Chain A
Amino acid sequence: MNRQPHPSPLSPVELVDEYFIENRNRIVEVAAFLDRLDRADASIARTDYRVRALADAIGVLSSTSPRRVQDIQLLLSDPTTEPRPALDRKGAVGAWARPEGGR
């Protein structure tokens, strides 16, 4: 398709000026959540697939990929292609539970 990107007229510094504080807040919130889990039971970081997925996503944040958001969305997605044979539950939970032994 013929895409016509419309970049923001804001300069890079203006983007940082505008968005730094709210993103500083977000990363502090994530850190506080992980500390909270550690206080409750540090082993949950290894045993809960959602927390493991979050840790993998944090790794993507540190990368230089120009498409971090897509990379994280894919990391959290069910990569399989076959339909479920039957309904297991009504709702999604936000991360894909890999089969035992998979990464």
Chain B
Amino acid sequence: MRYIDHHAHMASRTTDDYAQMALTGCVAVTEPAFWAGWDRSSPEGFDDYFRQLMEFEPKRAAAAGMQHYTWLGMNPKESDNREMSIEVLRRIPALLPGPTVLGIGEIGLNRVTTNEITTYTEQVALAAEHGQLVLIHTPHLEDKLKGTRITLDVLRQFPALPAGHVLVDHAEEHTVEAILDGGFWAGLTLYPQTKVSAPRAVDMIEKYGPERLLVAGACDWGPSEPLAVPKFIAEMRRRRHSEALIHRVVFENPVQFLGQSPKFRLPAGVTAAAATQAG
């Protein structure tokens, strides 16, 4: 089944991972800017990273037969560093017109500090000012509930930013309702240990329905799986859900959200071919 992985840190992944994703039906990935697992020593380090996301990864994806789009921003893990964040944010407006840049992301909170909230708020303002889509990281584990509440509170301060242009990612059972109730898109990122497993993601589809819900593999530098979305598809089939419902979640929903950017366009034929899989 053809699918789109809206949250895939391919810079952390091998060419073989691109090939495996393509072989299992992935037609496009979108890659949010994030933390490398260590703090960068200067703003210039972000220049190189953003160039990798905008120039190099699309070529690797194309070699596997996939499209690659990206999101730019100051990631939550380094956003407590205000001096660095100010310098990184200063660079972003000039990069937004890039042909594969879909918006601002992944931004948000990590340990929910006052500095992180300031950097996050500035990035939401940047997105609103430039009419960008937004992809938001919500904190891990015990920090998720509090961080998600504050994340949503900040978004409500920007009525110029349509809720439907915002994807609040890494949702779990205790945060997904508030995200959906706010009119935002909710992302379920599939991880082997943290965040959401495929069976629990299917549970949330069953409970809330498919509207404004997305699933992704994240496939970052930590324990994670580049083939998480096809494993989710297998789990949906294990529960005997219809091919039409699965297609909606893994293909139509990402097309609907990402397609709000005029830059996100699948090649002619891919959408038509994917439609035949819905049965």
Q: Which residues of B144-188 have CB atoms within 8 Å of chain A's CB atoms? A: 144-146, 149-150, 172-174, 180-181, 183
Complex interface residues of chain B between 200 and 239 (CB less than 8 A to chain A): 200, 202-203, 205-211, 238-239
Task: Judge whether A92 and B143 touch: CB under 8 Å.
Answer: yes
Smallest Cβ distance from A1 to chain B, in angstroms? Answer: 6
Contact of B142 among A85, A90, A95 (CB under 8 A): A95
Q: Which B111-154 residues have C-beta < 8 A from chain A?
A: 111-117, 139-146, 149-150
Contact between A76 and B239 (Cβ–Cβ < 8 Å)?
no
Are A87 and B113 touching (Cβ within 8 A)?
A: yes
Which of B110, B117, B142, B238 is close to A96, meaning CB atoms less than 8 Å apart? B142
A84 contacts the other chain (Cβ, under 8 Å)? yes
Alpha-carbon separation in the docked complex, A9 to B49 (Å): 46
Complex Cα distance A3/B113, Å?
34
CA gap between A65 and B245 in the complex, in Å: 29
B150 near A83: Cβ-Cβ < 8 Å: yes
Q: Is the CB of B114 within 8 A of A76?
A: no
Q: A27 on the interface (CB 8 Å rule)?
A: no
A19 to B203, CA, bound (A): 13
Is the beta-carbon distance between A10 and B239 smaller than 8 angstroms? yes
Whether B239 lies near A81 (C-beta < 8 A) is no
Contact of A92 among B113, B139, B149 (CB under 8 A): B139
In the complex, the chain A residue whose C-beta lies closest to that of B149 is: A81
Chain B's interface size range is 35 or more
User: Which residues from 62 to 83 on chain A have a C-beta closer than 8 Å to any C-beta of chain B?
Assistant: 67, 69-70, 73-74, 76-81, 83
Q: Are A80 and B114 in contact (CB under 8 A)?
A: no
Taking A6-B245, A9-B241, A70-B174 as contacts, is the C-beta distance between A76 and B141 under 8 angstroms?
yes
* A95 closest partner in B (C-beta): B142
A69 touches B110 (CB 8 A): no
- Contact residues in B for A3 (Cβ distance below 8 Å): 180, 208-209, 211
**Shortest CB distance B116–A (Å):** 8
- A73 touching B145 in the complex, CB below 8 Å, given contacts A4-B211, A85-B114: yes
Given contact pairs A6-B205, A6-B245, A87-B80, A78 touches B174 in the complex (Cβ within 8 A): no
Q: Are B206 and A8 neighbours in the complex by a CB distance under 8 Å?
A: yes
* A6 pairs with B206, CB closer than 8 A: yes
Q: How far is the CA of A84 from the CA of B113 in the complex (A)?
A: 4
With an 8 A cutoff between CB atoms, is A12 at the interface?
Answer: no
Could you tell me if A90 and B208 are in contact, using CB atoms closer than 8 angstroms?
no
- Are the CB atoms of A84 and B111 closer together than 8 Å? yes
Residues of A contacting B150 in the complex (Cβ-Cβ under 8 angstroms): 81, 83
The answer to whether the Cβ of A7 comes within 8 Å of any Cβ in the partner chain is: yes
A2, A8, A89, A95 pick with most chain B CB within 10 angstroms: A8
Interchain CB contact (< 8 A) of A77 among B115, B146, B181, B183: B146
Assuming A8-B240, A77-B144, what are 20 further A-B pairs, CB within 8 angstroms? Answer: A5-B209, A9-B241, A19-B199, A69-B173, A69-B200, A70-B173, A70-B174, A73-B173, A76-B142, A77-B142, A77-B145, A77-B146, A78-B142, A81-B149, A83-B112, A84-B111, A87-B116, A88-B111, A92-B139, A92-B141
Across the A-B interface, the 9 shortest Cβ-Cβ residue pairs: A73-B174, A92-B141, A77-B145, A4-B209, A8-B239, A92-B140, A87-B80, A96-B142, A9-B240
Q: List 17 A-B contacts (CB under 8 A).
A: A2-B211, A8-B206, A8-B240, A67-B173, A74-B145, A78-B145, A81-B150, A83-B114, A86-B114, A87-B113, A88-B111, A89-B111, A92-B139, A92-B142, A92-B143, A95-B141, A95-B142
